[in-house]
Chain A
Amino acid sequence: DAGITQSPRHKVTETGTPVTLRCHQTENHRYMYWYRQDPGHGLRLIHYSYGVKDTDKGEVSDGYSVSRSKTEDFLLTLESATSSQTSVYFCAILGRSNTGELFFGEGSRLTVL
């Protein structure tokens, strides 16, 4: 258990509303990631962070922003949700070993009506 908590675990919202998903970790890991998972696409990287206030885009970053104001929290924001952003969102952290293994949270299911 890498001490990762995602919230909310489930959310239903309407098109055009803002949504923020939170990833919280308790073990002071430097690297944190947000992925989305959709049928037929597997896991795709949205944004990642390599330190406080250090973030970078992944392959599907359009329509998303992130913030990392402290080590333990990595926030994913949809400024104006669209139906195409209906998905399961996974947060991950990079373990301390030099293997490069990612540890994933349990996921946040977002439905945009």
Chain B
Amino acid sequence: GESVGLHLPTLSVQEGDNSIINCAYSNSASDYFIWYKQESGKGPQFIIDIRSNMDKRQGQRVTVLLNKTVKHLSLQIAATQPGDSAVYFCAESGNSGGSNYKLTFGKGTLLTVNP
């Protein structure tokens, strides 16, 4: 899994399997979380987000789970495809919409999907 302070972890899965990418955050005041996907040579792209008043949110083939008790966030990708191969970042914010709005990013997890 991913956590601030660690080197880039890697996850290798077989095509068609489910993937789970983890992220630990340290700021208990964070109220908004996002997962980004970054393909080689490109900028990060939004995947899914969740607010702190929720513990689960589903998108198309992706689910984000939030456990505020242990400050843990996870991204689940169903039926992983080769196109899902990328670096995945979690990001957190403690002031969504405020005048000093900014995101703090984790270091990322490299997902490799084997055909």
Contacts and interface: CB of A to CB of B under 8 A. Distances in A.
A104 interface: yes
Interface residues of A, number: 28
Chain B interface size, as a band, is 20 to 34
A79 interface: no
A70 interface: no
B102 A48 contact: yes
Main secondary structure of the interface of B (DSSP, over half): loop
B43 A100 contact: no
- A42, A58, A99, A104 — which one has the most chain B CB atoms within 10 A of its CB? A42
B101 A101 contact: no
Contacts of A113: none
B49 A107 contact: no
B101 A31 contact: yes
Given A33-B102, A42-B105, A42-B106, A100 B32 contact: yes
